[in-house]
Amino acid sequence: MLMFSALVFLLAGLVKGVLGMGLPTVAMGLLALVMTPAEAAAQLLIPSMLTNLWQLFAGPALAGLLRRLWPMLAGICVGTLLGARWLVGSDAGWIAGALGAMLACYGLLGLSARRFGVPPRQEVWLSPLVGLATGLVTGATGVFVIPAVPYLQALRLDKEDLIQALGLSFSVSTLALGAGLLHHGALQATDLGRSLVMLAPAMLGLGLGQWLRHRLSEALFRRLFFIGLIVLGIHLIIEALLP
């Protein structure tokens, strides 16, 4: 079990290092094969938090992103605390399947020539709604992607700003998910111990992935980013359909 978990976090960290996302999605999907979703979510807390902080503080524009994105971040906190009871108390397989379908569709759209954007005047009301929806999905599935990632992509940030914005969003989501699990009695000291052990393979994978990412062109990065969304989406759909 320990070796399997370590390999899962090495792979999840590698994916995150290249794409700036994917650690919770990969880890939750694979760990759920051998443990409950709540146990898997508890195990990913420390690797997710610290890899997100590494990603966050490696970027160039933290203060500006905080000023721009704080309504979305506040919405994430509220939504995650409300939605965590679904992850702890019931089977949320259908939610994960729907999430996977949205991810795959968005990835396919991203690979097309069409690009979406959010006018600055719409950010005022759209940002908190996106945050609330992201939080509800995070609470139900342990995955931090939809709709925050498409929204951040639509803001037309450059590659490094996008990676930092993802790290900021995921850091807040991880803290909120931990608070939700703790509130519902699904987070124990032993869970945090196992989570701490998984930090080493996750950080190793992250470092390897970042090394690869800095050697990619902007166009290739975008292509891999959207292909990664499709792969992660299909993975979630398959997991939801399996008995």
Interaxial angle between packed helices 159-183 and 120-141, expressed in degrees from 0 to 180 and rounded to the nearest 10: 40
Whether the pLDDT of residue 90 is over 60: the answer is no
pLDDT of 30 above 60:
yes
Check residue 192 and give its pLDDT: 81
Task: Give pTM, 2 decimals.
Answer: 0.80
What is the chain's mean pLDDT, rounded?
Answer: 84
What is the model's pLDDT at position 57? 84
For residue 210, pLDDT over 80 is answered with yes
Gap between the Cα atoms of 131 and 134, Å rounded: 5
Cα–Cα dist 63/124, whole Å: 18
User: Among 32-36, 133-137, 167-171, which stretch is predicted with the lowest mean pLDDT?
Assistant: 32-36
Q: How far is CA 135 from CA 62, 101, 131, 218, 229, in A?
A: 21, 18, 6, 29, 19
pLDDT > 70 fraction of the chain, expressed in percent and rounded: 94
Helix, strand, or coil here: 172? Answer: helix
Angle at 47 between CA 166 and CA 10, to 5 degrees: 95
Which structural domain, as residue segments, surrounds residue 209?
2-241
Q: What's the mean pLDDT in 76-84?
A: 92
Give the per-residue pLDDT at 114: 66
**Which pLDDT score is estimated for 10?**
94
The structure tokens listed for 187 are 């987070």
- Phi, psi of 156, rounded to the nearest 5 degrees: 60, 40
Judged by DSSP in three states, 214 sits in coil
Instruction: Provide the domain count of the chain.
Output: 1
CB 43 within 8 A of CB 54: no
| Residue 52 clears pLDDT 90, i.e. is over it | no
